[in-house]
Chains A and B, each alone.
Chain A
Amino acid sequence: MKDGEIVMQMSEEKGTALLGAAYRHLKVSYPKFFKMDAISKAGLIASEILLADERERFVPREDRAVVLFSRHGCEADDIHYRETITDGNYFPSPALFVYTLPNVVTGEIAIRNLYRGETSAYVLEKFDAGQIVSIVSESFEDPVTDSVLCGWVDCADDNNVEALVFQVENGDGEEFTADVINGILTNYK
């Protein structure tokens, strides 16, 4: 869903299968997507929906930050990596290990869009719109940052994916507040 409009609807698929279907539906051409862990896929798809209509994408820029929040961090990928280091099956996987960091999703979005600004990942004890709004608002203290792609991207495991992302800009317009976030959640739950 984007700005209140349904972008695509699936009743069968969930989690990473849903993200794969979204990748095809949105006609994103970025084969690296298939190497990503669940949270990176979720962040990438959410950002593709958010940015679909933006003009002048893929031009290097330093003025847009990516600031994401989650509860589970990279736990979905940690589970897969741990399976490669058990006593019975000891083949540590570098391809899985590199995703065992909660901030890699922000890096993937930066790489895809050529954002050279700030990228930050925070893990919260639970979803907290107030905390998200404070930290995002404070990120504009960096004089280079004029725009922040931000929000909640959380994967407890491969079957449970949540993403609610925003493009927040310096300037006039609707203020980014906890009420705005909570209002969206109340309307669409």
Chain B
Amino acid sequence: MNGQVAILGCSAVTPLGFTPEENFRAVLEGRSELRLHKGEFGVREPFVASLFNRDAVRKEAYKEGIPGYGFFDTIVLLAASKAIREAGIDPASEKVQFVLSTIKGDGTPLSSSAAALREHFHCKHPVTVVSNACISGLSALVSARRMLLCREDIDYIVVVGAEVQSRFIVTGFQSLKALSEEPCKPFDAGRTGLNLGEASAAVVLGREGAGWQIVRGVVRNDANHISGPSRTGEGSYNALRALLPAPEDLAFISVHGTATAYNDEMESIALERAGLSEVPVSALKGIFGHTMGAAGILESIVSMKAAEYGIILPTAGYSTPGTSRPVNLSASPRRFEAPGSVSFIKLLSGFGGVNGAVLFRWG
């Protein structure tokens, strides 16, 4: 073993579809469920977000044999169940560990958000909840990779990321004046803030398997501010630097791209400092919104699909460069040649000064 772990199964559940393929197609075709919501969750100001059709999700969950849970638990179990089936593992085995990535869970203390996973799949180990702000999904992958490398008693880890929106979250971002009143425009000169989104996504990791591997991943803090990124991109730069030198087959970087003024500017600086300005970049939040605890896993899975087809995904909402440093983005899909192997980096940052970067490779 060389520090890599294999991805044996994955799933993506969003308002745009219930499979990785459907979600990849939506990004490729520029379809989004970012819509204006008035009065939703009892929030007084209208807001743009990508929200689930709850009935459609419950129907899908019923088909999957998941009835009668709260909505947050339903999307967690739905994503986990699909990924587990693809991986072909027995979730009740002693050898399987579960990790849940979420920021607010079902609105109750997060420790209880793990209970549904434990009960439904009869997990033999305590479920670990990673709650590391907007990078939670990448933190969970980083943590799960290490767990597999270090623990002989565990052979498989199911990592689930999920977030549902609520009055709590929407009013909070409104109070910070961070929300855009229209579908967001990552890295664009006219960007005015982020949109929130709902999603769940899961991967099953194992020690060995053909196909996608997680090569390395790290978390770094800016040590600067709890609710604003470093002006010098310190943490994102250091996280990227830990993955350098860039592999020769690096096809693209899937960035955070929240479409806030500070985040996108910070990322442009971090990419330049890491010598990665020329690497093609894509940002997905103009399609899914910011899916918080699900983002790291969802955006990684959609990026895997794109890489399999030799495609660099378009950045919806982007048209005019809007950062002080150049970023290699495009509003339309681009192709790349991938003879033999391909890799990409997923980058995220979040409140508390956290930044995460994970390197994925196929072949």
Q: Cβ of A26 < 8 Å from any Cβ of B? A: no
A75 to chain B: closest residue by CB: B109
Minimum CB–CB distance for A106 against chain B, Å: 6
Q: Tell me the minimal C-beta distance from B262 to chain A in angstroms.
A: 14
What distance in Å separates the Cβ of A71 from its nearest Cβ neighbour in chain B? Answer: 5
Q: Within 8 Å CB of A131, what residues of B?
A: 126, 128
Write the chain A residue with the least CB distance to B100: A123
Q: Give the interface size bracket for B toward A.
A: 35 or more
Report if B133 contacts A (CB, 8 A): yes
Q: Nearest Cβ in chain B — how far from A37, in angstroms? A: 10
**Cα–Cα, bound, A116→B234 (Å):** 8
**Chain B, Cβ-Cβ closest to A131:** B126
> Which residues from chain B contact A21 at a C-beta distance below 8 Å?
none
Tell me, yes or no, whether B132 is within 8 Å of chain A by CB. Answer: yes
Q: Is there an interface contact between B129 and A122, defined as CB atoms closer than 8 Å?
A: yes
**How far is A87 from B42 in the complex, measured between Cα atoms in Å?**
9
How far does the Cβ of B154 sit from chain A's closest Cβ, in whole Å?
10
Whether A120 contacts B139 in the complex (CB less than 8 A), given A73-B131, A93-B175, comes out as yes
Question: Are B221 and A119 in contact, CB atoms less than 8 angstroms apart?
Answer: yes
Closest to B127 in A: A125
B235 to chain A, nearest CB (A): 7
Interface segment among A2-10, A134-142, A163-171: the answer is A134-142
CA distance A125 to B112 in the complex (A): 7
Q: How far apart are the CA atoms of A113 and B353 in the complex, in Å?
A: 13
B150, closest chain A residue (CB): A138
Kindly state whether residue A111 has any CB partner on chain B within 8 Å: yes
Most A CB atoms within 10 A — which of B147, B352, B354? B352
User: Can you list, as one digit per residue, whether each of B71-97 has a CB less than 8 Å from chain A (1) or not (0)?
Assistant: 000000000000000000000000000
* Nearest 5 Cβ contacts at the A-B interface: A107-B352, A97-B172, A92-B175, A92-B171, A138-B146
